[in-house]
Amino acid sequence: MIDAKQALLAALATALKEVGAPPELTAAFESPKQAAHGDLACTAAMPLARTLKRNPREVAASLVEALQRQPAVQRWVSALEIAGPGFINLRLAPAAKQAAIGEILRAGAGFGRRPARSDKVLVEFVSANPTGPLHLGHARQAALGDAICTLFETQGWQVTREFYYNDAGVQIANLAASVQARIRGLKPGEPGWPDAAYNGEYIGDIAADFLAKKTVQADDRAYTASGHPDDIDGIRQFAVAYLRHEQDLDLQAFGVHFDQYFLESSLYASGRVDATVQRLVASGKTYEQDGALWLRTTEYGDDKDRVMRKSEAPTDGGSPYTYFVPDVAYHVQKFERGYTKAINIQGGDHHGTIARVRAGVQAAGAGVPAGYPDYLLHKMVTVMKGGAEVKISKRAGSYVTLRDLIDWTSRDAVRFFLLSRKADTEFVFDIDLALKQNDENPVFYVQYAHARICSVIEQFVERGGAAGALETLNEADLARLTAPTELALMSRLSEYPELLASAAADLAPHLVAFYLRDVASSFHSYYAAERVLVDDADLAQARLALLAATRQVIRNALGVLGVSAPEKMSRESA
């Protein structure tokens, strides 16, 4: 069907030219809002009518006549209909839908993927400061970021996953002070316990391992504790390495890996922050006022200018610059590393930083295009269990962690659930629903479709079906597949490549989750309506080919979301 659509696009382009369409009117099809209206729709008659100064339905009639002369239309289209003010609806011939099966079986795991390209994209996500376990916001970022990376990989992009974190500053100082207090025998709430301390039980674990002079190894660092209670710098370094290691374990359990780790401190150590400030001053986009250095971000769409350098030097030895300055330096550096596209996945509380960071990047005069970087902001997640909200994790002390969700349910459930809604919508994670093994649970519903197909194919072999019959499914007589549920399922499968392209372009992995549920629904409807292992050998082989193609698409799409495709599953009794 993919080949059929490409041939029909070429036919439409030729037909548009025949009726006098200008070159800038691109040939394109849309999906009708209602399936009853057909398989493809063309809206070109309306804009073309304005150009030709004719009635849209008359233009549509001329366009239909031109289309009917095209060999591709004669081969792949069963009916052309004009509707409304000039819409043209196309009903595809069964052969066009049947062709999708062969395309899927031939491509296998590569179905839906586009050829490699030279473009590079850097996706920064999770970016958790090493001050505690990963929380639900980090969990949603991890699921979103990893799926978006995979989506871009399907479109041929060279993708780099990057984790950025602050290994210095006030939060890290508070972490070190918290661990030191535990080392000295203090506990939360006791006299002398620091006001800004972290109170989770993990602080006690870090203190105990520091006193035991243990060595911790994270993906980007290793450190051996001195065991001395007064060694505050050593406590800081050990605590950071300890929590980076813990975060690494959580991400590994979630199936997420990173290609690079980037430290905020490196921007200062390398002189990049100072160099960026100098570039901004040299650009003429800064000014001094009230003892502070300001950037004219309003010239780039921000609601007000932003302070770059504070009027008073910090007393704790920290940076004199406000937090968005190293962000600007970081993103200029991303562009200079050759990433023509950069995507940041962050919580909704970062909305205010977008305009100022983009303004700073533009003002730096590094040739960065407008709108760089892209942002995907997400809302937080509420966890429910037994009808009540779950707010506290014993280990974290004040919030539910990524590890909690995985331990309470499964990696597959957490991944699928967190990707089943648009990032900018609030989401309720229902623990009880995630544990159900029936159709109410969306991830089970999809995975069970895959397992059911595996079961049917296994039954075929057990009943004496020749192994060679499975190996030659792409030679099956697909013209036998004419049942309404078969045609509907084939149409759904053929949508997968375009779905991937749209989901990548819109940074919308939830579209893949929606699509999987639609495919599973189409399959379950088909399975309920038609027997697969019928006595007619040719028909059985054709239906096995359809099942094999459906299994492949489900497996490919689940892989984009980082969710497994089990071959065997048990189901709760009704």
Among 18, 73, 85, smallest CA distance to 40 is for 73
Look at 13-22, 161-170, 448-457, 531-540 and tell me which has the smallest mean pLDDT: 161-170
Sign of CA dihedral 405, 407, 413, 416: positive
393 to 252, 349, 494, 564: CA distances (angstroms): 20, 22, 44, 27
Indicate the pLDDT class of residue 572, thresholds 50, 70 and 90: confident
Q: Considering the chain, what percentage of its residues have pLDDT values greater than 70? A: 97
pLDDT at 391: 85
- For residue 282, count other CB atoms closer than 10 A to its CB: 11
Q: What percent of the chain has pLDDT over 90?
A: 84
| Region of residue 550 (left: phi > 0; alpha: psi -120 to 50; beta: else) | alpha
Domain boundary among 44, 77, 92: 92
Quick one: tokens of 144? 């979103």
- Do 160 and 295 lie in one domain? The reply is yes
Can you give the pLDDT at residue 37?
84
Give residue 33's pLDDT. 79
Residues 249 and 276 in one domain: no
| CATH number where 346 lies | 3.40.50.620
- Whether pLDDT at 326 is above 90: yes
DSSP H or E run through 144:
helix 136-154
Do 10 and 132 belong to one domain? no
Q: How confident is the model at residue 167 (pLDDT cuts 50, 70, 90)?
A: confident
Mean pLDDT on 455-481? 81
Judge whether 437 lies within some domain.
no
SS3 call for 389: strand
What is the domain count for the chain? 5
Read off the amino acid at residue 287: Y
Query: Between the CA of residue 213 and those of 172, 210, 227, what are the distances in Å?
Result: 20, 5, 5
553 and 455 share a domain? yes
3-class DSSP string for 188-237: CCCCCCCCCCCCCHHHHHHHHHHHCCCEEECCCCEEECCCCCCCHHHHHH
Mean pLDDT of 130-142: 94
Q: Band of the pLDDT at 462, cuts 50, 70, 90?
A: confident
Place of tokens 């023509």: 340
Q: Is residue 570, in this structure, part of any structural domain at all?
A: no
CA–CA dist 245, 130 (Å, integer): 9
Closest CA to 280 of 293, 265, 291: 293
Whether 472 shows a pLDDT value over 80: the answer reads no
Q: Closest by alpha carbon to 547, among 566, 563, 530, 570?
A: 530
DSSP 259-294: SEEEEHHHHHHTTHHHHHHHHHHHTT-EEEETTEEE
pLDDT level of residue 2 (50, 70, 90 thresholds): confident
Q: Name the residue with tokens 């050990």.
A: 238
Q: Mean pLDDT in the chain? A: 93
| Strand pairing category for 292-295 and 306-309 | antiparallel
Structural domain contains residue 396:
yes
Which residue in this structure is represented by tokens 């780039």? 300
141 and 213 in a common domain:
no
The answer to whether residue 340 is domain-embedded is: yes
Instruction: Tokens for 237, please give them.
Output: 């370094």
Contact 505, 418 (CB under 8 A): no
Smallest CA-to-CA distance from 547 within 467, 482, 479, 493 is with 493
User: Which contiguous run of DSSP H or E holds residue 183?
Assistant: helix 170-183
pLDDT digits (tens, 9 = 90+) for 179-198: 999 999 999 999 999 999 99
β-pair type (120-124, 341-347): parallel
For residue 529, give Cα distances in angstroms to 94, 312, 534. 18, 75, 13
Q: Which of 538, 541, 552 has the alpha carbon at shortest distance from 453?
A: 552
Nearest residue to 491 (alpha-carbon basis) of 78, 92, 107: 92
- What does the chain come to in residues? 574
Is residue 565 helix, strand or coil? coil
Q: Does residue 8 contact residue 77 with C-beta atoms inside 8 Å?
A: yes
- Per-residue pLDDT band for 465 (boundaries 50, 70, 90) equals low
Tell me how many degrees the CA angle 341-343-346 measures, rounded to the nearest 5: 165
Q: Are residues 556 and 509 in the same domain?
A: yes
Residues 126 and 204 in one domain: no
Per-residue pLDDT of 492-529, as tens digits, reads 999 999 999 999 999 999 999 999 999 999 999 999 99
At which of 331, 359, 377 does a domain end?
377
Q: Are strands 427-430 and 388-390 parallel, antiparallel or unpaired?
A: unpaired
- Residue 104 belongs to some domain of the structure: no
356 and 463 share one domain: no
User: pLDDT digit string (tens) for 384-435?
Assistant: 999 999 987 766 777 899 999 999 999 999 999 999 999 999 999 999 999 9
Tell me if 496 sits within 8 A of 530, measured CB to CB: no
Q: Do 268 and 159 sit in the same domain of this protein?
A: yes
Residue that wins the pLDDT comparison between 330 and 320: 330
> Does residue 316 surpass a pLDDT of 70?
no
Contacting residues for 60 by C-beta, under 8 A, at least 6 apart: 45, 82, 86, 87, 88
Given this model, what pLDDT does residue 469 score?
A: 62
Indicate if the pLDDT at residue 376 is higher than 80.
Answer: yes
Distances 219 to 225, 245, 252, 475 between C-alpha atoms, Å: 18, 7, 11, 48
The reply to whether 572 falls in a domain is no
Range of the domain at 298: 120-166+263-377
- Higher-confidence residue: 366 or 381? 381
Q: Categorize the per-residue pLDDT at 36 as very low, low, confident or very high, splitting at 50, 70 and 90.
A: confident
pTM, two decimal places: 0.91
pLDDT attached to residue 40: 93
- Which of 205, 232, 260 is where one domain is finished? 260
Residue 474 is predicted with a pLDDT of 80
C-alpha distances in angstroms, 376 versus 152, 181, 462? 15, 38, 49
Write the CATH number for 505.
1.10.730.10
Residue 255 has which token pair? 């199936």
Amino acid 561: pLDDT: 98
Helix axes 537-561, 136-154, angle to 10 degrees: 130
> In whole angstroms, what is the distance from residue 145 CA to residue 148 CA?
5
- Do residues 267 and 358 both lie within one domain? yes
- Outline where 305-441 has alpha helix (H): 324-336, 351-363, 402-408, 411-418, 431-435
Pair (70, 160) in one structural domain: no
User: Do 424 and 529 fall into the same domain?
Assistant: no
Band of pLDDT at residue 574, cut at 50, 70 and 90 = very low
Is 99 contained in some domain?
A: no
- Does residue 573 belong to any structural domain of this protein? no
- Cβ–Cβ under 8 Å, residues 269 and 283: no
Q: What was the pLDDT predicted at 399?
A: 87
> What average pLDDT does range 89-98 have in this prediction?
95
Q: Which two tokens stand for residue 17?
A: 């030219």
Angle among Cα 515, 516, 518 to the nearest 5 degrees reads 65
